[in-house]
Structure 1
Amino acid sequence: MKIGVLGTGAVGTAINSKLIELGHQVMIGSRDNTNEKAIEFVDKFDSNASSGTFEEAASFGEIIFNCIKGEFAVAVLKSVENSIQNKILIDISIPVDTSKGAPLSLIPELCNTNSLGEEIQKNLPDTKVVKTLNTMWSTLMTAPGTLKNGDHTNFICGNDDEAKATVKSLLNEIGWKDETILDLGDIVGSRGTEATVLLWLRIWGATIGTFSLKVVN
C-alpha cells in the first residue's frame, strides 16, 4: 500500500520505519523537499522510502498519517485538502500549547467542547478522519508487544465505521491485537484521548521507564 506520513518528528519517524518494515511504500512529507531530517531518514532504506512536500506525500498516499505538531496541523491539512479528499486520515497529533513552556496545556479552543480530531474533520468534511495511537510513547505505537506482551489499550474513534475497520486492520498488521483496540465511537471521542496527554505527562514525570494505559473491567 502507498502511505503518506506528514511530519518528520519522533512519531513520524517511528510510523515510517514500521510501515517500511512491513513492506508498504511510504513517502514522508515536510514543508519542503529539501528537509534534512526526511532526506537522512530515506537514505537509511534501500527501497519503499521516499520524501517530498506535504502536498506530494498527501497525493502519494492511499492512506495518510497526520504526525504534525497539533498547533500547526489544521493549517497544513487545509493546504493539502484536495489531495486527501475521500481518503483515510489517521490523526495521531495532540493540540498541546507549547508557547508558554512547562507545565504544558492544551490549546484552549481545541479542548473540553472541541478537539483537534473534530476540528480536522470539520475543516476536511470529505476526508475520513480516524483518531488513534495518541495516548502513548512513539515507540509503543509501532511495537506494542515490547510492554507486557502488548497487554495495554489503544483507543480509536471516527465517524466512518468502514474507515475505522480499515485502520484496525492496519493496526493489527503493526502488532495491535483486536482485544486491545477500544472503539470510542465517533470523532468526538478525540476530546477524551487528546486530554489524556495531561495525565500522561504527570505519570511520565513520576515514573521511570516505558508505560501505557490499560482499561480493566
Structure 2
Amino acid sequence: MRIGIIGTGTVGQTLGSKLVALGHDVTLGSRSKGNAAATDWAERSGPGGRAGTFAEAAEFGELVIVATGGTVAPAAVELAGAENLAGKVVLDLSNPLVFSPTGELTLDPVNTDSVGEQLQRALPGSRVVKALNTVTVTVMVDPDRVPGEHQLFVAGEDAGAKAQVTALLGEFGWPAERVLDLGGIDAARGMEMLMPFWMRLMRHYGHADFNYSIRAAN
C-alpha cells in the first residue's frame, strides 16, 4: 500500500520505518521541501521510503497518517490539501497537548471537541479514524513490549475506514479482538482526554512501556 505520513518527528519516522519494513511504500511529509529530517529518514529507508511536503505525502498515500502534534494538526492538514485527501482514510493519532511554562499539562481542544473531530470537519470528503494516540510510539509498532492482553481504541464515522485501520494495526501486531471500536469520531474526545492520566502513569513507572487492559463481564 502507498502510505503518506504528515509529520517528520519521532512518531512519523518510527511509523514510517515500520511500514517500510512491512513492505509498504511511504512518503514522509514535512511543511517545506527539502526538510532535513525527512530527507535523512528517506535516505536510511531504502527504495520504500521517500521525502516530500505535506501535500505530496497526502497525494501519494492511499491511506494518510497524521503524526504531528495535535495543536498543529488542523494547520498541517490544511497545507496537505483537502483535495489530496478526498475519499481517503485519514488516521489521526495526534494528541492536543499544551504545556505551561511550569510544565503543567492541559489539552486544547478538550471536553466538547477533539482533534479527530476538527480534522473530520476540515475534511468532509475524507474518512477520519482516531487510533493509536493512547500508547507511546514504540508500543504502537511493537505491542509485545507490554506483556499480557491490552487494547487499542478506534473511533470514526465510517465502518469500512475503521476496518482498514484495524487491518493495518494487525500488521503492527495488534489482533483485531484487541482493537475496541468506540463508535463515532466524537469518541476521540475521551481518547484524547486520557493523556493527562497517561502522563501521570509514565511518571509513576518511569517509562512509557505500558497500556490499558479493559475487562468486561460477559
Q: How would you bin the TM-score normalised by the shorter chain?
A: over 0.9
Q: Kindly state the Cα deviation for residue 46 of structure 1 after the two structures are TM-superposed.
A: 2.2
Q: State how 1:27-176 maps to structure 2 within 5 Å.
A: 27-79=27-79, 80-98=81-99, 100-107=101-108, 110-148=109-147, 151-176=149-174
Shift of 1:101: 5.0
1:189-208 matches, within 5 Å, as 189-208=187-206
Mean Cα deviation higher: 9-18 or 95-104: 95-104
Deviation of the 1:13 alpha carbon: 1.2
Cα distance in 1 for partners of 2:214, 2:94 equals: 22
Any idea what SS the aligned residue of 2:64 has? strand
1:212 deviates by 1.1
Residues of 1 paired with 2:120 and 2:53: CA distance?
22
Code of the residue aligned with 2:51 in structure 1: it is: S
Tell me whether 98-107 or 156-165 shows the greater mean CA deviation: 98-107
Equivalenced residue count is: 214
Q: Which residues of structure 1 form unaligned runs of 5+?
A: none
Cα–Cα, structure 1 residues 62 and 170, in superposed 2: closer, same or farther, change >3 Å?
A: same
For 1:157-212, what per-residue CA distance to the aligned partner results, in whole angstroms no more than 9, with x for missing partners? 10000111111111111110112100000001100100111000011111133211
Q: Distance in 1 between matches of 2:206 and 2:100?
A: 27
Corresponding residue of 1:216 = 215
Alpha-carbon RMSD across the aligned residues, in angstroms, is: 1.2
Report the 3-state secondary structure (helix = DSSP H, G, I; strand = E; otherwise coil) of the residue aligned with 2:46. coil
Aligned residue identity for 2:26: V
Could you tell me which amino acid in structure 2 is paired with residue 22 of structure 1?
A: L
Greater Cα offset, 56-65 or 96-105: 96-105
1:214 aligns to what SS in structure 2? coil
Secondary structure at 1:5 match in 2:
strand
Q: What SS does structure 2 have at the residue aligned with 1:70?
A: coil
What amino acid does structure 2 have at the position aligned with 1:129?
V
AA in 1 matched with 2:18: K
Using the aligned pairs only, state the percent identity: 38
Output the CA distance in 2 between the equivalents of 1:31 and 1:211.
32
